[in-house]
A and B are shown apart, each in its own frame.
Chain A
């Protein structure tokens, strides 16, 4: 029986003291380079503006640990890559901890306190675990190499939609080189580690404290047997080992030294990015401080430290680009490239000792690293990118901040400019008279209460499209009848309501948004009600998430939750069931923004419909193209619009009869797309309210009055 103290791994055996000193010199240099690199990175972040995300650090840390531990964000929509990353991640973490324990004993505990623990059973388990970890690491890396080389995934291509071939930053071959250098150096560290282990075993094959326990490092042992089979002797191994040892050691140290300067830094930046994640990112946009002269981001130094950190967290995985509706239709936008452009810019401008002159900090323009105006205006602020980013990069808030600057400069589509002026003048995007806001209610057989005069249980915030768009007015009337039939005590603001401002804010016209929000909050504060309901997910989002920042905290529900409850409570009774085969389009602002995925689906099922989801559903729902103010900006002629892209997706559902939406803008966008993409006559687009309406059993007089109204 071997004395357990002898069962351990040799360190520096047969090394000359000078050689050991040399190794330590390299080690300390690597650490010094690492620390200096880290310092310059932190100095870069500190050159950004303040951000209120400090606080609740423990809570944030725990959330981050859970996300990283479960790899939840990495396996989403790309299981294989996520799992391969898991192998690499856990392999690396274990190997790192393992190596650290050696340092802990050899350099700290033993010399200072004479404590030793790295022997015997501990060592054997350590050896086994690290062997498995190293094996997983190599497997993961092999898959990643295979994926990069042979899968030809469009999301891994660095060719850009917002640059032309020949532009210096068109397809960025340096990124490709870095990816491969990273993969190769990492896998070489792993492979040489095992070969080194095997060589050590062969070399010390005569020493029972080593050789008898070789199976605790199974990979190393297998390799050792292979080497012996190939004729390697103990002496041969002894001679071969030093050069391999140095190669492995120096490669590892170089790897560590380069962490802050290469993509390897995502080890830290991605973790930190996850830790400072804002759960309301994009749902609640940042306010412009009252004392700030200019709104938005003009210079790289206008970004907050958190923004700058997010830029560095990006690992170019391309999931955001894959999810982006603008990118899907060939618009010059990839959320990833916005982030990468700004990152290059920040690295060029903010890594220097002295900050460059202000003129050299402008992030808008046509130069390398600058972001095009067309790119920023292509964004639909649908949050598909923010949702899927595995490392919590928040693209949309940055894009909107940059748009705020463009708006102040007046650099926008003339039509959009006109719409903003119209909204300012008339309070709605249709340029209609305020007095006509509730004109749709005149055709009803009952009076709707004026919430400004009488207390109501539920205040209905109607929103622009539902109020003024003739097609949507029918839906609005149907919803009024539903609420009336269910005996809900509800009322409107009538001309006291203005555009809720959700899209105005996402355009970047923060001043106009503040005006609209404060005006609406003023109107609401003069009314007596318990909660708000709306059929408009855009209004829903801003009232729910953003009005609180302006002093208006309300309980607000999207109609789907209200109607679901009315149906469940039996206050609304269905006269008949429908047997349509339907699909449901999750509106961005209801689904992804506010997680309202289930209520509409539950209602559809209650109606008896056969619901078949499209491939892209729920959190991966595909924007209709109208978000972020794009409903006021015409799409270029001759291109496929996002709404048409969506129609094509729906068209693949066998026997589809109804494409169900639950957002006024969706109804407008998709009814149009239905015609332009050639599905007219194949299926129809309907608001969920219209389907419910079909199943209603209204008393005769309501129906009669309405028929009369329609004839008029």
Chain B
């Protein structure tokens, strides 16, 4: 029995950041990296299933696509109890879109042949919410997005899930397994990875896979093969809002003044 959890190391903006010279991204120097918040929950869900069935041997494997720095986040996953970690990378992957990342993850899933695949609903930095579903599409596996509750006995051929819909509505779905589920925040209470735990997890190896290991080549990935590309990243100009004080008459006069200003400009 194996559960595969796809995770991502996301970037958060430091204050006073700067956009890169090519205007396509934030200068990496101003980014703070950490595990995507959703992934805390999907890993916890896998760990919950593992720990609730102590008699079944369940292997939790975390997978991420990313450069060396991602190891730090994978170690955090290992500290929380994941059994193995795989990181796939090639410099050519830089600039890939979510579909290509989904394809790479799908290839890892094919090699690992897990009984269940989790991913976060979305990443907090890019918010595409499509990587997990793209992976499911490449695998041809049943999939469900925004899963807020999961009932699954390890090894069963189906699971009952609740999906979050708009307006606070939940949809209960029965899904055939293996399946790909994208996990929503709040499905459980993620555990704390103590620093000692993370340090000790440094002893567990992180498997570094190349594109060749998953049967792909540089031409399958990267900006060249992406279906979308970033043209420009910028900080939008701030809108202006102002509280107009005074009596009703004064307020009306001020509004008229502002309208005239705009018309005149």
Which of A's residues lie within 8 Å of B, judged by CB? 288, 293, 295, 407-408, 410, 412, 417, 420-421, 424-426, 432-433, 435-436, 509-512, 514-515
Q: Does B128 contact A (CB under 8 A)?
A: no
Interchain CB contact under 8 A, A426 and B196: no
A-B contact pairs, 6 of them (CB 8 A): A295-B196, A407-B192, A408-B194, A410-B194, A417-B192, A512-B195
Interchain CB contact under 8 A, B15 and A514: no
Interchain CB contact under 8 A, A425 and B32: yes
Q: Does B55 contact A (CB under 8 A)?
A: no
Interchain CB contact under 8 A, B195 and A515: yes
Interchain CB contact under 8 A, B191 and A410: yes
Q: Which residues of B contact A420 (CB under 8 A)?
A: 192
Residue among B34, B191, B192 with the highest chain A CB neighbour number at 10 A: B192
Q: Which residues of A contact B14 (CB under 8 A)?
A: 433, 435
Q: Does B224 contact A (CB under 8 A)?
A: no
Q: How far is the CB of B69 from chain A (nearest CB, A)?
A: 14
Interchain CB contact under 8 A, A511 and B15: no
Q: How far is the CB of B192 from chain A (nearest CB, A)?
A: 4
Partner of B196, one of A288, A417, A421: A288
Instruction: Write the chain A residue with the least CB distance to B13.
Output: A433
Interchain CB contact under 8 A, A432 and B192: no
Partner of B200, one of A293, A425, A426, A515: A293
Beta-carbon contacts under 8 Å, B179-205 to A: 191-192, 194-200
Q: Which residues of A contact B199 (CB under 8 A)?
A: 511
Q: How far is the CB of A343 from chain B (nearest CB, A)?
A: 29
- The distance in angstroms between the C-alpha atoms of A607 and B198, with both chains bound, is 51
Q: Which residues of B contact A410 (CB under 8 A)?
A: 191-192, 194
Q: Which residues of A contact B52 (CB under 8 A)?
A: none
Q: Which residues of A contact B194 (CB under 8 A)?
A: 295, 407-408, 410, 509, 511-512
Partner of A514, one of B16, B195, B197, B200: B195
- The distance in angstroms between the C-alpha atoms of A288 and B194, with both chains bound, is 14
Interchain CB contact under 8 A, B16 and A510: no
Interchain CB contact under 8 A, A408 and B197: yes
Q: How far is the CB of A81 from chain B (nearest CB, A)?
A: 43
A420-B192, A511-B196 given; 20 more Cβ-contact pairs under 8 Å: A295-B196, A407-B194, A408-B194, A408-B197, A412-B192, A417-B192, A421-B192, A425-B32, A433-B14, A433-B15, A433-B16, A436-B16, A510-B195, A511-B197, A511-B198, A511-B199, A512-B194, A512-B195, A514-B195, A514-B196
What does DSSP make chain A's interface, helix, strand, loop or mixed? helix
Interchain CB contact under 8 A, B196 and A432: no
- The distance in angstroms between the C-alpha atoms of A435 and B194, with both chains bound, is 26
Q: Which residues of A contact B16 (CB under 8 A)?
A: 433, 435-436
Interchain CB contact under 8 A, B15 and A509: no
A424 with B195, Cβ < 8 A, contacts A435-B16, A436-B15 known? yes
Instruction: Write the chain A residue with the least CB distance to B193.
Output: A410
Q: How far is the CB of B221 from chain A (nearest CB, A)?
A: 30
Which of B's residues lie within 8 Å of A, judged by CB? 14-16, 32, 34, 191-192, 194-200
Instruction: Write the chain A residue with the least CB distance to B190.
Output: A410
Q: How far is the CB of A531 from chain B (nearest CB, A)?
A: 30
- The distance in angstroms between the C-alpha atoms of A511 and B75, with both chains bound, is 14
Interchain CB contact under 8 A, B196 and A408: yes
Instruction: Write the chain B residue with the least CB distance to A516.
Output: B195
Instruction: Write the chain B residue with the least CB distance to A435.
Output: B16
Q: How far is the CB of A412 from chain B (nearest CB, A)?
A: 7
- The distance in angstroms between the C-alpha atoms of A435 and B16, with both chains bound, is 9
Q: How far is the CB of A459 from chain B (nearest CB, A)?
A: 26
- The distance in angstroms between the C-alpha atoms of A514 and B200, with both chains bound, is 13
- The distance in angstroms between the C-alpha atoms of A509 and B32, with both chains bound, is 22
Q: Which residues of A contact B192 (CB under 8 A)?
A: 407, 410, 412, 417, 420-421
Instruction: Write the chain B residue with the least CB distance to A508.
Output: B194
5 tightest A-B contacts by CB? A511-B195, A511-B196, A410-B192, A512-B195, A410-B191
Instruction: Write the chain A residue with the least CB distance to B30.
Output: A433
A509 with B195, Cβ < 8 A, contacts A435-B16, A436-B15 known? yes
Q: How far is the CB of B158 from chain A (nearest CB, A)?
A: 31
- The distance in angstroms between the C-alpha atoms of A288 and B198, with both chains bound, is 15
- The distance in angstroms between the C-alpha atoms of A510 and B194, with both chains bound, is 9
Q: How far is the CB of B93 from chain A (nearest CB, A)?
A: 25
Q: How far is the CB of B130 from chain A (nearest CB, A)?
A: 27
Instruction: Write the chain A residue with the least CB distance to B15.
Output: A433
Instruction: Write the chain B residue with the least CB distance to A513.
Output: B195
Instruction: Write the chain A residue with the least CB distance to B196.
Output: A511
Q: Which residues of B contact A426 (CB under 8 A)?
A: 32
Q: Which residues of A contact B191 (CB under 8 A)?
A: 410
Q: How far is the CB of A69 from chain B (nearest CB, A)?
A: 44
Instruction: Write the chain B residue with the least CB distance to A418.
Output: B192
Q: Which residues of A contact B195 (CB under 8 A)?
A: 424, 509-512, 514-515
- The distance in angstroms between the C-alpha atoms of A432 and B191, with both chains bound, is 24
- The distance in angstroms between the C-alpha atoms of A417 and B32, with both chains bound, is 19
A432 with B197, Cβ < 8 A, contacts A407-B192, A417-B192, A426-B32 known? no
- The distance in angstroms between the C-alpha atoms of A417 and B194, with both chains bound, is 10
- The distance in angstroms between the C-alpha atoms of A515 and B198, with both chains bound, is 11
- The distance in angstroms between the C-alpha atoms of A587 and B32, with both chains bound, is 35
Q: How far is the CB of B76 from chain A (nearest CB, A)?
A: 10
Q: How far is the CB of B60 from chain A (nearest CB, A)?
A: 17
Interchain CB contact under 8 A, A510 and B196: yes
Instruction: Write the chain B residue with the least CB distance to A293.
Output: B200
Q: How far is the CB of A468 from chain B (nearest CB, A)?
A: 12
Interchain CB contact under 8 A, A432 and B15: yes
- The distance in angstroms between the C-alpha atoms of A515 and B34, with both chains bound, is 17
Q: How far is the CB of A613 from chain B (nearest CB, A)?
A: 41
Q: How far is the CB of B31 from chain A (nearest CB, A)?
A: 11
Q: Which residues of B contact A293 (CB under 8 A)?
A: 200
- The distance in angstroms between the C-alpha atoms of A170 and B241, with both chains bound, is 60
- The distance in angstroms between the C-alpha atoms of A424 and B199, with both chains bound, is 13
Q: How far is the CB of A602 from chain B (nearest CB, A)?
A: 41
Instruction: Write the chain B residue with the least CB distance to A510.
Output: B196
Q: How far is the CB of B17 from chain A (nearest CB, A)?
A: 9
Q: Which residues of B contact A407 (CB under 8 A)?
A: 192, 194
- The distance in angstroms between the C-alpha atoms of A509 and B197, with both chains bound, is 11
Q: How far is the CB of A159 from chain B (nearest CB, A)?
A: 34
- The distance in angstroms between the C-alpha atoms of A490 and B18, with both chains bound, is 32
Q: How far is the CB of A633 from chain B (nearest CB, A)?
A: 14
Interchain CB contact under 8 A, B197 and A425: no
- The distance in angstroms between the C-alpha atoms of A412 and B191, with both chains bound, is 10
- The distance in angstroms between the C-alpha atoms of A50 and B191, with both chains bound, is 31
Q: Which residues of A contact B32 (CB under 8 A)?
A: 425-426
- The distance in angstroms between the C-alpha atoms of A426 and B14, with both chains bound, is 9
Instruction: Write the chain A residue with the least CB distance to B80.
Output: A410
Instruction: Write the chain B residue with the least CB distance to A408.
Output: B194
- The distance in angstroms between the C-alpha atoms of A432 and B13, with both chains bound, is 11
Q: How far is the CB of B61 from chain A (nearest CB, A)?
A: 22
Instruction: Write the chain A residue with the least CB distance to B34.
Output: A425
Q: Which residues of A contact B15 (CB under 8 A)?
A: 432-433, 435-436
Instruction: Write the chain B residue with the least CB distance to A410.
Output: B192
- The distance in angstroms between the C-alpha atoms of A435 and B18, with both chains bound, is 14
Q: Which residues of B contact A515 (CB under 8 A)?
A: 195
Instruction: Write the chain A residue with the least CB distance to B17.
Output: A433
Q: How far is the CB of B77 from chain A (nearest CB, A)?
A: 15
Instruction: Write the chain A residue with the least CB distance to B33.
Output: A425
Q: How far is the CB of B124 from chain A (nearest CB, A)?
A: 13
Residue among A412, A432, A433 with the highest chain B CB neighbour number at 10 A: A433
Q: Which residues of A contact B200 (CB under 8 A)?
A: 293
Q: Which residues of A contact B198 (CB under 8 A)?
A: 511
- The distance in angstroms between the C-alpha atoms of A412 and B193, with both chains bound, is 12
Q: Which residues of B contact A436 (CB under 8 A)?
A: 15-16
Q: Which residues of B contact A412 (CB under 8 A)?
A: 192
Instruction: Write the chain A residue with the least CB distance to B195.
Output: A511
- The distance in angstroms between the C-alpha atoms of A432 and B14, with both chains bound, is 8
Q: How far is the CB of B92 from chain A (nearest CB, A)?
A: 30
Instruction: Write the chain A residue with the least CB distance to B14.
Output: A433
Q: How far is the CB of B184 from chain A (nearest CB, A)?
A: 18
- The distance in angstroms between the C-alpha atoms of A417 and B190, with both chains bound, is 11
Instruction: Write the chain B residue with the least CB distance to A412.
Output: B192
Instruction: Write the chain B residue with the least CB distance to A417.
Output: B192
- The distance in angstroms between the C-alpha atoms of A282 and B199, with both chains bound, is 25
